[in-house]
Structure 1
Amino acid sequence: MKAYKRVWGLLLLVFFALIYLIPINARLLWQPDETRYAEISREMLQRGDWVVPHLLGLRYFEKPIAGYWFNNISQMIFGDSNFAVRFGSVFSTFVSALLVFWLANVLWHNRKTAYTATLIYLSFTLVFSIGTYSVLDPMLTLWINAAMVFSYFCLRASGNKQKALSWIALGLACGMGFMTKGFLALALPVIAVIPVVWREKRFKTLFGWGPLAVIVAVLLSLPWVLAIAHREPDYWNYFFWVENIQRFAEQDAQHKAPFWYFIPVLCLGSLPWLGLLPGSLANGWKKRVMRPELFFLLSWVLLPLIFFSIAKGKLPTYILPCFAPLALLMADYLDQLRQAGARRTLKANAIINIIFGSLAVIALVVMSGRLPFGHIRELYGPSEINRMLIGVLCFAVWALAGLLSLTQAKRWYWAAACPLVLSLLVGQALPQRIVDSKLQQQFVTNNIKLLRDSRYVLTGNVGIATSLAWVLKRSDIIMYDGKGELEYGLKYPDAVGRFISAPGFPAWLEKARLEGNVSLVVKTDDLEGNTTGLPPADSVIQSGRTELFFYKKLP
């Protein structure tokens, strides 16, 4: 048994390294998200200010501070690299996986089931996609997962010492979650636990010990809450009303989507284990009375899912906290299938992976432009055959892993290998049009000499602005004819001169060229209607939809 544990532990570590660690430095940073968070932390370290977030030297109050601290520490350790930018997300996902393993052991005292739950969690498409991407959601998910795990202990602890430690730990998790992404981290654990408290009549425990968790969360977050309120009195007004109320509830909320939006996200995100999804949820519901831990896990999956479905604004990343309990439900269901010798569900899961991988291969070939389908827009250019073949390889391996899990039903774990090559090579499979549109880091690097020689650098796109700032290591990028998410920061008096309108650009340029070279980087889409207003440049460099207009210093 010890040898079995060592082998499984080693395999999980190797799997984690292949999926999460090795690929993250090779892929360019995606904009606007990754370059934004990379630049915020770079500027915080440069300024030595760990209290007030700034982006491009402007106040940026869209999120609290703890997620940036993760990224700050990562950049302090690993430097200004793509690996450092993404390591905070990877580390958070790793700790979430440890929590899944720990809770599985507590629930079922079965190390094999715990390993299974961890493997399923780490190989979920949504988990590894977001867990290797620099956003704050993996960090928020870590604290919500921790809060839910400690909530389970809070409801099950017997002695006063155990209860106190559990509620203190819950308060710490909620406090860190609040400082990572705000009030949402406080709401989700409460929403998920209330049905359990109601069903088990634990109100006395909740109201008797709950204040301890609240006090701990307040004490943990209070120093920063007071510090930023002192430094920036408008922070909490903006963050509460704009970033919380408007984003989730109002009619003009960002990223509006229909109520059912998260259903396909949940299904696609649960690949390569989609075949287990219906049975694991149904099994949990059927056995909820006999096995209360399954009701706890169901509540953890479904209540946040319903909450986010009701909200006006929706993004796929929002339901990431639902996948830890889903992995636990699937691991328990899979264990029951193995014990019963039932192979039908496992075969169905394998067939789903074969179909998914095969359809993706067919789609790439059809959209490659190599077949006589004139009405289909080509995804890859004529010279991108290698990229197309790498994409085909990624999904062909997905289908092959599905085939192996079908022909060798006892080797169910082959399903976890489905996304292996995709994770390793997805950066090399992206079409150039996507690189030009969303991965401006390469464009900036290719033209770094001209840009570094420029006294002023302007752009009309916030994503490009953060790419420029990150590569050039300068935060004084000027916004041209568009403010985007920087609109709030540009309202402050000390931001004067950081925005130039299109009509005012010629006059501003004439004066600026007396001081030095000027570079304007734009997307051609952003210049519609304004191209004739741009003064003739000394050099124009174009790559896809991105153009650099270079103006030399006037004598």
Structure 2
Amino acid sequence: MKMMRNGLLLLALFSLYYLIPLAFRSLWQPDETRYAEISREMLVNGNWVVPHFFGLRYFEKPIAGYWINNLSQLIFGHNNFGVRFGSVFSISITALLVYWLTLRIWRDRTTALMAGIIFLTSLLVYAIGTYAVLDPMITLWLTAAMCGYWLVVEAPTTGKKVRAWLLMGFACGMGFMTKGFLALAVPVIAILPWAVQQKRFKALLVYGPLAVLGAAVISAPWVIAIAHREPDFWHYFFWVEHIQRFAEANAQHKAPFWYYLPVLLLGCLPWLALLPGALCNGWRDRQNNSGSRYLLSWVVMPLLFFSIAKGKLPTYILPCFAPLAVLLARQAMQLMGVNGQALKANGWINLGFGLVCAIVVLGFLAPWGWAKHPVYRHHEGMKVALAAGAFLWWGWVGYITLKAPTQRWCWAALCPLALALVVGQAIPERVTDSKQPQQFIQRMKPEIASGHFVLANTPGVASGLAWELQRSDIILYDQPGEVQYGLRYPDAKGRFVSGADFAQWLEQHRREGSVTLVMLLSRGNENSDAEVPKADFSYRQGRLVMYQYQQTP
């Protein structure tokens, strides 16, 4: 009876965190609107081989991540829940793999359960796991690959080893089809030091080709199909998306070597106090427990790899949180009833974090705060209250755990709950007006949809328009952005209009029908009307503005 009650409680918490909020948060541009629209176009066109964005070839990522999003939208429809459920599904299966691996290493169900809970409630995992990007999918496949290798380690017979190697290869192949060659490199980087120390390097060389075979078998049909249909795909994907992004001086998202340190610390909340002990124990236990060394190598080696790379984003280190959650859970279980200082420190950290964030919201971000340019506007008092209340809840839960840290330490899983439920309603208008065009588009949808030609000045806004209007013929205005490569193809002629040519283009095309232009203005740009010909109707909301030009005879 107790097990059933606990199971229902976990299901309720999972729903509150990962299911209920999905539909009540507007999509963010450029990421969420991009992946929503690419999958929508795949379903409409029935082309599950070549990704297209606005009907243009889009070669930035392979196909498997889109497949998961396609299935999600196919089941749940073209809505915000359907867009994000692919990420939730991937991160949930990853949590189950974390549970499985913890159970295999330490044979303790309580530790395994807490590892899954710590993983799902870590701030970085939750933030990315409910966000429509491809990183939860690659995290799933990399975790599956590392679990597959642990099956290899434990396999008692040659036949089971062969099957485990092939299973690992299948996972790597799916990862390769999600984000490319990264999925092949990261497991090797994580496993190699451990295999050398455990004197398994020879076995790695002998049986490793089986994993390569498994990856080749699972990915070959699509690899061959897209090479046949789009011969230029692999040239672009390898050199631009891998070499330039990760190694060259002009890599995207450049950041210093230490960039991931604060990301790791914040991402571990609300379990941050367990981090130093978890890493130290993993290092101390490396001689007595090969599982600890394996997990530690899995955390540290990919983290170093991504730190060395020129291009960096917080989402890149998400796969490191699977083994880290296992180490954190192990550390917490060892402290219970023995030493409550770290568990007590975790409560103090959560209390302090919640109070500091609430003070920042009320004292600096609120319109009555001390900041010269507050984030919230004067009519957004309710949003301020929701944001401050969410962080006060975080601090209050931390305070409650202080009363009995060795018994209540696991209550820290409730710290982000209020934030998860209200964050969609607490975002300031200054942010929604620039980063969430969905609200603007929905408000002006009849007017925008009436345009025979619809243009947008950024791919992020254009993808929001395409998603909401259910049409892929949005024309890019002035800034080609990430679709610049797709615009080079002959069949993309007419899908881009430069700012210098717009007046002439408008004079010609408004004879065929009305024209709607939606622009995301740069910060501080208050004179956008001077940039375009005088419109018959215009509407502005924050940094988003719509211009309408009626058809002329």
Q: TM-score with structure 1 length normalisation?
A: 0.97
What does residue 276 of structure 2 align with? 278
Query: Take 1:533 and 1:299, find their aligned partners in 2: how far apart are those partners?
Result: 54
User: Partner letter of residue 429 of structure 2?
Assistant: Q
Is 2:471 aligned against 1:474?
Answer: yes
What does residue 494 of structure 2 align with? 497
- Kept in 1: contact 2:459–2:480 (CA 8 A): yes
- Kept in 2: contact 1:64–1:179 (CA 8 A): yes
User: Partner letter of residue 412 of structure 1?
Assistant: W
Q: Deviations over 1:198-251 (max 9, x none)?
A: 001112221221111111110110010010001001000000000000000000
User: Partner letter of residue 206 of structure 2?
Assistant: G
Is 2:379 aligned against 1:383?
Answer: yes
Is 2:437 aligned against 1:435?
Answer: no
Among 521, 544, 553, the alignment partner of 2:518 is 521
Q: Deviations over 1:122-143 (max 9, x none)?
A: 1000001000000000000000
Q: CA deviation at 1:407?
A: 1.2
What does residue 249 of structure 2 align with? 251
Query: Take 2:526 and 2:284, find their aligned partners in 1: how far apart are those partners?
Result: 58
C-alpha distance 501-486 of structure 1, shift in aligned 2 (>3 A): same
Is 2:266 aligned against 1:268?
Answer: yes
- Kept in 1: contact 2:32–2:132 (CA 8 A): yes
Query: Take 1:524 and 1:111, find their aligned partners in 2: how far apart are those partners?
Result: 53
Query: Take 2:426 and 2:191, find their aligned partners in 1: how far apart are those partners?
Result: 42
Among 85, 96, 99, the alignment partner of 1:98 is 96
- Kept in 1: contact 2:367–2:376 (CA 8 A): no
What does residue 362 of structure 2 align with? 365
Among 424, 441, 445, the alignment partner of 1:444 is 441
Percent identity between matched residues is 54
Among 312, 315, 324, the alignment partner of 1:314 is 312
User: Partner letter of residue 452 of structure 1?
Assistant: A
Among 447, 452, 460, the alignment partner of 1:463 is 460
- Kept in 2: contact 1:355–1:399 (CA 8 A): yes
What does residue 205 of structure 1 align with? 203
Query: Take 1:121 and 1:225, find their aligned partners in 2: how far apart are those partners?
Result: 33
Query: Take 1:517 and 1:400, find their aligned partners in 2: how far apart are those partners?
Result: 56
C-alpha distance 214-400 of structure 1, shift in aligned 2 (>3 A): same
Query: Take 1:318 and 1:337, find their aligned partners in 2: how far apart are those partners?
Result: 31
Give the alignment of 1:97-496 within 5 angstroms: 97-340=95-338, 342-371=339-368, 373=370, 375-409=371-405, 410-496=407-493
SS of 1:547's partner is strand
Q: CA deviation at 1:339?
A: 4.4
Q: CA deviation at 1:165?
A: 1.7
What does residue 510 of structure 1 align with? 507
- Kept in 2: contact 1:515–1:553 (CA 8 A): yes
Query: Take 1:180 and 1:368, find their aligned partners in 2: how far apart are those partners?
Result: 38
User: Partner letter of residue 494 of structure 1?
Assistant: D
Query: Take 1:530 and 1:376, find their aligned partners in 2: how far apart are those partners?
Result: 25
User: Partner letter of residue 317 of structure 1?
Assistant: T
- Kept in 2: contact 1:175–1:220 (CA 8 A): yes
Query: Take 2:95 and 2:103, find their aligned partners in 1: how far apart are those partners?
Result: 13
Query: Take 1:453 and 1:292, find their aligned partners in 2: how far apart are those partners?
Result: 64
What does residue 541 of structure 2 align with? 543
Q: Which runs of at least 4 in structure 1 moved beyond 4 Å after TM superposition?
A: 526-531
Query: Take 2:342 and 2:366, find their aligned partners in 1: how far apart are those partners?
Result: 37
SS of 1:274's partner is coil
Q: Give the aligned length.
A: 551
SS of 1:367's partner is helix
Is 2:550 aligned against 1:552?
Answer: yes
Q: TM-score with structure 2 length normalisation?
A: 0.98
Q: Deviations over 1:460-480 (max 9, x none)?
A: 111100000000001111111
Query: Take 1:369 and 1:154, find their aligned partners in 2: how far apart are those partners?
Result: 55
Alpha-carbon RMSD: 1.3
Q: CA deviation at 1:161?
A: 2.0
Unaligned runs of 5+ in 1: none
Query: Take 1:60 and 1:301, find their aligned partners in 2: how far apart are those partners?
Result: 32
Query: Take 1:277 and 1:420, find their aligned partners in 2: how far apart are those partners?
Result: 21
User: Partner letter of residue 552 of structure 1?
Assistant: Q
Query: Take 2:190 and 2:12, find their aligned partners in 1: how far apart are those partners?
Result: 33
Query: Take 1:169 and 1:101, find their aligned partners in 2: how far apart are those partners?
Result: 18
SS of 1:145's partner is helix
SS of 1:457's partner is strand
Q: CA deviation at 1:520?
A: 0.6
User: Partner letter of residue 398 of structure 1?
Assistant: W
